[in-house]
């Protein structure tokens, strides 16, 4: 059975001009005798336009446009022109958020996100190494071309769907020895949903079963055990980006907890959580593992043995550093509520050759001060598997403090005391052990 898909053509701008006039209550002439009916229509429209928008954007376009999947997220608009990136735009957004929505949630994962926060942080690395990603993509497509199946005159999967598959695999690949059967099952369910939501080659109402079967066969061939030239190259690339994705994830968590707003943690995200869209992101969470990790972290503190941040960084794959970061900063936040609920937000200026690879800001309330420092775009600052810390990376780089800021600081995450000189602190002191820092003013 063949499936025909209608040929689409460009819609005239006159159509959009008409709807603009309708929604802005701009009648073709005055007076309008049907103004009451017009208003009634608009009120009814508002009741279902949100659902239509969600279905059209989040549940259709997001499964068609596969440039960088981490941007295909609820609340995000990967198609927006003129979007501003960079540290200045980030600070501007935070200032506006503090002024207009100071008590809104800073949520990085929910039951409805297409990708969990850690998946997005890892996929974001691809935007930092576009040439290498392009080279790998071309190589993988060549290696896997023979695994495709022709269905009704077209090869399945399409190149666009291949990009989706490879990014999804990179996003959820575990740090431990992978269970290929489990990965295939999870990705299989995800691809089925993605292909039907896209409505390009199949859909929920009239599934193109031969095409879907071809995609399942392609996936099975792609993730089969050795000998598999693609999987060998894939794993090599995964190792190159995994630590960089972790670095992005830590920065994301710290910024979420200290920016204007209320930090929100979706179930299970205290440790690494690499999940796809529902139903994958609603799977059972191993709370026993998380409880044992927290007890271990707290037990060391209670016994006054101290925690070695470098040791946590060395064992970064187990996720304990992410949980440690959340525990330390959230406890501080609870003890200093006014600092975060009403405190000022002051961007900090960085100096040095890597000043664009850093984001830092102050939260200040009366005599309380706290500084957040995170690395960004750090993929090329160090070799894969080596985190951007210490003299070799940050020599000659500093952050500049406000004139009235105190000179004595403590790194809450390492316990190290740091002294500012002439309202400046070298990054070699701030990021000596970890690629992020949270400094609090000494009493």
Q: Is residue 296 part of a domain?
A: no
Q: Assign 75 to helix, strand or coil.
A: coil
Q: Are 228 and 159 members of one domain?
A: yes
Question: What value does the mean pLDDT of the chain take?
Answer: 91
Q: Is residue 367 located within the same domain as residue 443?
A: yes
- The residues near 139 (Cβ < 8 Å, ≥ 6 apart) are 233
Closest CA to 414 of 256, 298, 307: 307
Please indicate, yes or no, if residue 367 is contained in any of the structural domains. Answer: yes
Q: Is residue 324 part of a domain?
A: no
Confidence of residue 1 (pLDDT cuts 50, 70, 90): very low
- Residue 178 domain flag: yes
- Per the CB < 8 A criterion, the answer to whether 165 and 157 are in contact is yes
Please give the residue range of the domain that contains residue 19. Answer: 12-57
| pLDDT value, residue 344 | 95
pLDDT at 31: 64
Residue identified by tokens 């701030």 is 430
Q: What's the average model confidence in pLDDT over 250-262?
A: 97
Sheet holding 436-441: strands in order across? 344-347, 358-365, 368-375, 436-441, 408-411, 417-419
User: Can you give the pLDDT at residue 306?
Assistant: 59
Side-chain-side CA neighbours of 111 within 13 Å: the count stands at 2
Q: How many residues does the chain have?
A: 443
Question: What pLDDT is attached to residue 32?
Answer: 65
Q: Are residues 344 and 443 in the same domain?
A: yes
Shared-domain flag, residues 131 and 33: no
Residue partners of 239: CB distance under 8 A and separation at least 6? 384, 385
Indicate the pLDDT class of residue 254, thresholds 50, 70 and 90.
very high
227 and 340 fall within a common domain: no
316-355: buried (b, 16+ CB within 10 Å) or exposed (e) per residue?
A: beebbbbbbbbbbbeebbeebeebbeebebbbbebebebb
Q: pTM for the complete prediction? A: 0.88
CATH label of the domain that carries residue 411: 2.60.40.1180
Number of domains in the chain: 3
Residue 411 has pLDDT above 50, yes or no: yes
Nearest to 124 by CA among 249, 19, 218, 303: 249
Helical spans, DSSP H, in 124-278: 130-143, 159-172, 180-198, 209-222, 229-258
Q: Does any domain span residue 170?
A: yes
The arithmetic mean of pLDDT across residues 38-51, rounded, is 86
Q: Tokens for 314?
A: 């060395």
Determine contact, residues 208/199, Cβ cutoff 8 Å. Answer: no
- Smallest Cα–Cα separation from 441: which of 354, 380, 362, 376? 362
Claim to verify: residue 31 and residue 140 sit in the same structural domain:
no
pLDDT at 30: 64
Residues 102-127 have pLDDT tens digits of 999 999 999 889 999 999 999 999 99
In this structure, the strands spanning 408-411 and 436-441 are antiparallel
Using alpha carbons, select from 334, 418, 404, 337 the residue that is nearest to residue 373: 418
CA dist., res. 309 & res. 315, Å (int) = 10
**Domain-ending residue, one of 191, 224, 239:** 239
């Amino acid at each position: 059975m063949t499936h025909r898909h209608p040929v689409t053509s460009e819609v005239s701008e006159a159509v959009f001009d008409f709807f603009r006039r309708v929604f802005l209550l701009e009648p073709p002439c005055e007076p309008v005798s049907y103004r009451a009916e017009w208003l009634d229509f608009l009120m009814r429209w508002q009741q279902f336009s949100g659902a239509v928008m969600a279905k059209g954007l989040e549940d259709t376009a997001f499964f068609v446009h596969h440039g960088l999947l981490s941007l295909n997220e609820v609340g995000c608009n990967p198609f927006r022109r003129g979007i501003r990136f960079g540290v200045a735009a980030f600070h501007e957004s935070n200032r506006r958020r503090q002024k207009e929505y100071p008590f809104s949630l800073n949520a990085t994962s929910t039951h409805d996100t297409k990708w969990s926060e850690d998946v997005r942080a890892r996929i974001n690395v691809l935007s930092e190494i576009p040439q290498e990603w392009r080279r790998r993509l071309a190589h993988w497509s060549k290696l896997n071309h023979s695994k495709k199946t022709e269905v009704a005159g077209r090869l399945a999967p399409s190149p666009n769907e291949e990009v989706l598959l490879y990014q999804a695999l990179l996003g959820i690949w575990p740090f431990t020895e992978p269970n290929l059967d489990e990965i295939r099952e999870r990705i299989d369910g995800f691809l089925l949903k993605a292909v039907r939501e896209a409505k390009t080659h199949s859909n929920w109402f009239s599934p193109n079963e031969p095409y879907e079967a071809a995609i399942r066969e392609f996936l099975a061939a792609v993730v089969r055990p050795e000998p598999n030239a693609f999987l060998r190259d894939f794993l090599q690339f995964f190792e190159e980006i995994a630590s960089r994705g972790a670095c992005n994830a830590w920065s994301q968590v710290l910024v979420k907890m200290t920016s204007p707003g209320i930090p929100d943690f979706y179930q299970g995200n205290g440790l690494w959580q690499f999940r796809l869209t529902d139903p994958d992101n609603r799977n059972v969470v191993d709370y026993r593992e998380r409880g044992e990790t927290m007890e271990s972290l707290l037990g060391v503190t209670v016994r006054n043995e101290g925690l070695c941040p470098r040791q946590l960084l060395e064992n970064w794959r187990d996720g304990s550093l992410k949980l440690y970061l959340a525990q330390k900063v959230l406890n501080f936040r609870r003890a200093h509520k006014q600092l975060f609920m009403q405190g000022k937000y002051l961007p900090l200026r960085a100096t040095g050759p890597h000043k664009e690879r850093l984001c830092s800001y102050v939260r200040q309330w009366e005599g309380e001060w706290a500084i957040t420092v995170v690395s960004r775009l750090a993929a090329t600052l160090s070799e894969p598997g080596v985190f951007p810390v210490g003299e070799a990376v940050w020599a000659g780089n500093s952050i500049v403090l406000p004139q009235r800021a105190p000179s004595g600081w403590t790194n809450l995450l390492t316990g190290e005391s740091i002294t500012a000189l002439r309202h400046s602190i070298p990054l070699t002191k701030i990021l000596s052990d970890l690629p992020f820092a949270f400094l609090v003013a000494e009493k």
